[in-house]
Amino acid sequence: MPQPAPETLDALGLPRWLLRARAGSGAGEVAQATGGVAAVTDSEPAVAASRAGAVPPASTLAAASLAVSAPTNTGRSADVVETLEALRAEVAGCQACALAGGRTQTVFGNGNPHARWMFIGEAPGRDEDARGEPFVGKAGRLLGAMLNALGLTRDEVYVANVVKCRPPHNRDPEAAERAACRGYLDAQIRAVKPELLIALGRVAAASLLETDAALGTLRGRIHALPGSELPVVVTYHPAYLLRQPVHKARVWEDLLRARQLVVPQVV
Q: Which stretch binds ligand URA (CB under 6 A): 14-22, 33-41, 133-141, 145-153?
A: 133-141
Comparing every residue's Cβ against ligand URA, the nearest one is 121
124 Cβ contact partners less than 8 Å away, ≥ 6 residues apart: 103, 107, 134, 161, 163, 164, 165, 166
Whole-angstrom Cα distance, residue 79 to residue 85?
10
Q: Which of residues 145-174 bind ligand URA (CB under 6 A)?
A: 161
* Residue 129 is a binding residue for ligand URA (CB under 6 A): no
CB count within 10 Å of CB 187 equals: 16
Tell me the number of residues near ligand URA by CB under 6 A.
11
37 or 233: CB nearest ligand URA: 233
34 or 106: CB nearest ligand URA: 106
State the minimum distance, in angstroms, from the CB of residue 201 to ligand URA.
7
Q: How far is CA 105 from the centre of its chain?
A: 20
Using CB under 6 A, which of 15, 53, 111, 134 touches ligand URA? Answer: 134
Q: Are 188 and 107 in contact (CB under 8 A)?
A: no
* Residue 139 is a binding residue for ligand URA (CB under 6 A): yes
Q: Which of residues 89-128 bind ligand URA (CB under 6 A)?
A: 121-125, 128
21 or 199: CB nearest ligand URA: 199
Q: Which stretch binds ligand URA (CB under 6 A): 57-65, 69-77, 81-89, 132-140?
A: 132-140
Q: Are 153 and 50 in contact (CB under 8 A)?
A: yes
State the minimum distance, in angstroms, from the CB of residue 239 to ligand URA.
6
Q: Which of residues 215-254 bind ligand URA (CB under 6 A)?
A: 239
What stretch of H or E contains 234? strand 231-235
> 105, 95, 112: which is closest to 133 by C-alpha?
105
Query: ∠ CA 210-233-55 to the nearest 5 degrees?
Result: 115
In which order are the strands placed within the sheet that holds 110-111? 110-111, 158-161, 117-121, 196-200, 231-235, 223-224
3 or 169: CB nearest ligand URA: 169
Sites of contact with ligand URA (CB under 6 A): 121-125, 128, 134-135, 139, 161, 239
